[in-house]
Amino acid sequence: MDKLNNLKELLNIHNLNNLEYKKITEILKREPNLLELGIYSVMWSEHCSYKSSKKWLKQLPSKSKIVICGPGENAGIIDIGDNDSIVFKIESHNHPSYLEPFQGAATGVGGILRDIFTMGARPIAILDSLRFGDIKQKKQKYLLSGVVSGISNYGNCMGIPTVGGECYFNEDYNKNILVNAMAVGVAKKNKLFFSKAAGINNPVIYVGAKTGKDGIHGATMASAEFDDNSKQKKPTVQVGDPFTEKLVMEACLELMQTNMIVAIQDMGAAGLTCSSFEMAAKGNCGIELNINKIPLREKDMSPYEIMLSESQERMLIILKKGCEKKAKKIFDKWDLDMSVIGKITNSKKMIIKKDNSVIADIPIALTEKNTPEYKRPWVKPKKVKKIKKFVFPKKNKVKEVIFELLKSPNLTSKKWIWEQYDHMVMCDTIKPPSYGAAIVRVHGTKKSLAMTTDCNSNYCKYDPFIGTIHAVSEARRNIISTGAVPLAITNNLNFGNPEDKNIMGQFVMSVKGMINSCKKYSLPVISGNVSLYNETNKIGISPTPVIGMIGLIKNTNSRNKKNLIKENDKIYLIGKKTNNISCSSFLERIILKNNKNLGPPPPINYNEEIKNGNFVLNLFKNNLIKCCNDISSGGIIISLLKMLINKEFGAEIKESFINNSTNDEKFYQILFGENSGNYIVITNNEEKVKKLAKKNKVNLFKIGTTKKNYLNINNQIIKLNELKNNFENNFFNYINN
């Protein structure tokens, strides 16, 4: 009985069920020892194995002419010509960031940067996608401050610009915040590196920081929901050191200029365990490790602690035999530990030794490749009914409406966040954080990259399928609004407990939405991450499928740099006038004043998305655009203000644009409704724009003209300094009160 009780307790600690334990004993043909049980627990965790999601992830379109490497490696790689390739990926650090916001967010950034330079790429940009609860709550302010500090500290110390991202607040995230970090790097196509181990007797080397007791069972923790005792899991959060990571990065990039590396992998989730097993599995070989050779930060660490530690800033490298001394010279130069801790074998097993005794003997393939794959039951999310009756404000209240919308932490300026990030380091940032996608120059070339992260959480909450299509579509519009051609996406799928058929249904429909939209737009999904069990005491987050996207501007120099906005430039809407306020920020903030039921998101119009997007790119090609923004949360007016206020301009809205209407409903629908496929452009050559629109059968409406000192809507004048003060200071007020 004691043995059974102890086993039950052990399985609970390791987040394994009885069927999984039975499978382990069948594989080993014996019971595992504690070390082996720990290894299986992290390798078969949701975080590492994707056992609930991989059935669906396999269906994502991941191939195209430009894809060099799709899902399965540390990051995805695309070809942008001239022997240049782009390496990028997004990952989550949600659970750790809730427990310890500074270190959780910091090590999330550190982890995604290692994924990039592990492939042989120099990181050139960081983006983040953040979700917090009610910003008025003291706990959420603490979490926000810690997360932002963690991101800025790590990125700034590494000397890599944080150039963009998004931050969203909703009470659905009160108990589980989301911290997703994306990184982008550049590498030559002929200098890419992968994690496939090879070469019998080739040495396995350990490089970087010493191993400590931080982060043990971090992967397991990230694969389970929280409860009232979750604070006890704080020791599972890793501790980062960006200065050490900077040394590791530079040393590895220098080693990559030689011909000594066979394979390379960072030690991320599950630490040395995951990196070694993954490398061996990809190479269909075995590895023998000597636990005595691993550099330790603390005395008396057990093999269990060593193998499961998630101490940061560590790499595992397979060298060509005989290159050990040359490699060590490079790492000595950067003042880093390097130790030969094992060798490649043909056993197809992981053999771990201590003091010449075997302490673990595990088949590689049956641990990494053949992890459990669950076909979780799921049901389609219930359709939300459209709200039919609204009471609209009077037209003469539009000023009050605008100021109320700008009070929303989701619509107002986030300068407080992004001004803490060094977004200009490396001197290649062309368009820094503000609105839409960032633009970063590919150093030493004429090319630039546009990059963004996007997800409308409300849209996904009320319809995960359509909401995810909107996330892909909005990311695409953000890229196009810079004049860049969208190339590929990465994703971070954040959901609650997949063992709940309703939540699993949210996940399935979200993936289906991504498949649908990526096929329509011919966008491959080249990398990604799934974060499940984001819930506390059985209350989960809203479905949050974050989309990261990259676009290419082939010749940055061809763009008219003198095309600055002037007074009386013409403002045009590309697309159809909006008549939809369902699930909009206007409905949530002005009419309902809550988000209990906002109705379904607006329908997707792929024809409009594709036709209007191509038209905008054509306008950029012909240098007919001074400024461009897509229309998303908050509708035309909020999207217009975002692009004009930081340029010290307002606008005069034409009466004819709002139909000279006495109808309050139509007035607000046009100005604050949210549609699919719409853009705002500013031009000083309206005749050519109109001519091209007619030729391409694109809907074009003149919104008005730019004005230096005010915004005029319906003969209501709002001074620019008043608008700017509200837009830029409201967020500060939330933080300080």
Q: Is the pLDDT of residue 369 over 60?
A: no
The whole-number pLDDT of residue 453 equals 98
Q: Residue 555 burial by CB count (10 A; 0-12/13-18/19+): exposed, middle or buried?
A: exposed
Q: Which two tokens stand for residue 454?
A: 């996007």
Least confidently predicted of 228-237, 482-491, 553-562? 228-237
Structure tokens at 199: 């070469």
Q: What is the pLDDT of residues 498-511, one digit of tens each?
A: 999 999 999 999 99
**Residue 391 identity:** V
Q: What is the pLDDT confidence band of residue 594, given thresholds at 50, 70 and 90?
A: low
pLDDT band at residue 6 using 50, 70 and 90 as cut-offs: confident
Q: What is the pLDDT of residue 389?
A: 80
Q: Are 364 and 349 in contact (CB under 8 A)?
A: yes
> What is residue 436's predicted lDDT score, i.e. its pLDDT?
92
Mean pLDDT of 582-604: 89
pLDDT at 352 over 60: yes
Per-residue confidence (pLDDT) for residue 388, from 0 to 100: 77
Distance CA 30, CA 28 (A): 5
Q: Helices 720-736 and 138-158: crossing angle, nearest 10°? A: 100
> Mean pLDDT across the stretch 60-75?
96
Q: Under a CB-based contact definition with an 8 Å cutoff, are residues 125 and 88 in contact?
A: no
Q: Which pLDDT belongs to residue 166? A: 96
In this predicted structure, the answer to whether residue 714 has a pLDDT above a threshold of 90 is no
Residue 231 has pLDDT above 70, yes or no: no
pLDDT the model gives residue 224: 56
Q: Give whole-number Cα distances, 237 to 49, 60, 98, 100, 311, in Å.
A: 20, 31, 10, 7, 9
Characterize the bridge pairing of strands 544-553 and 448-454. antiparallel
- Edge to edge, what strands does the sheet with 650-653 contain? 627-630, 679-683, 570-574, 700-707, 650-653, 710-713, 716-719
In this prediction, residue 374 carries a pLDDT of 92
User: How far, CA to CA in Å, does 315 sit from each of 109, 117, 294, 326, 367?
Assistant: 16, 11, 12, 17, 21
Largest CA distance in the chain: 87
pLDDT score at 5:
60
Q: Per-residue pLDDT averaged across 488-493, rounded?
A: 98
Q: Is the pLDDT of residue 421 over 80?
A: yes
Tell me what the pLDDT averaged over the chain comes to. Answer: 92
For residue 542, the model assigns a pLDDT of 95
Token pair in block for residue 139: 């706990």
Q: Which residues are catalytic?
A: 47, 93
Model confidence band, residue 626 (pLDDT cutoffs 50, 70, 90): very high
Q: pLDDT band for position 228 (50/70/90)?
A: low
Helix/strand/coil for 64: coil
pLDDT of residue 216: 76
Is residue 221 pLDDT above 70, yes or no?
no
The string of pLDDT tens digits covering residues 264-313 is 999 988 889 999 999 999 999 999 999 999 999 988 899 999 999 989 99
pLDDT at residue 390, rounded to an integer? 82
pLDDT one-digit tens code per residue, 178-204:
999 999 999 999 999 999 999 999 999
376-396 residue pLDDT tens: 999 999 999 888 788 899 999
What are 83-122's pLDDT values in tens digits? Answer: 999 999 999 999 999 999 999 999 999 999 999 999 999 9
Residue closest to 511 by CA, chosen among 491, 488, 538: 491
Is the pLDDT assigned to residue 2 strictly greater than 50? Answer: no
**Confidence band for 527, pLDDT divided at 50, 70 and 90:** very high
Query: Quick check: 50 and 278 in contact, CB under 8 A?
Result: no
Say how far apart CA 724 and CA 565 lie, in whole Å: 17
Closest by CA to 636, choosing from 594, 579, 684, 591, is 579
pLDDT of residue 4: 46
Question: Which segment of 208-217, 324-333, 690-699 scores lowest on mean pLDDT?
Answer: 208-217
Q: How much helix, strand and coil, in percent to the nearest 5, is found in the chain?
A: 40, 25, 35
Confidence of residue 549 (pLDDT cuts 50, 70, 90): very high
Question: Does the pLDDT of residue 661 top 90, yes or no?
Answer: no
Q: What pLDDT is stored for residue 562 in this prediction?
A: 62
Q: What is the mean pLDDT of residues 599-612?
A: 96
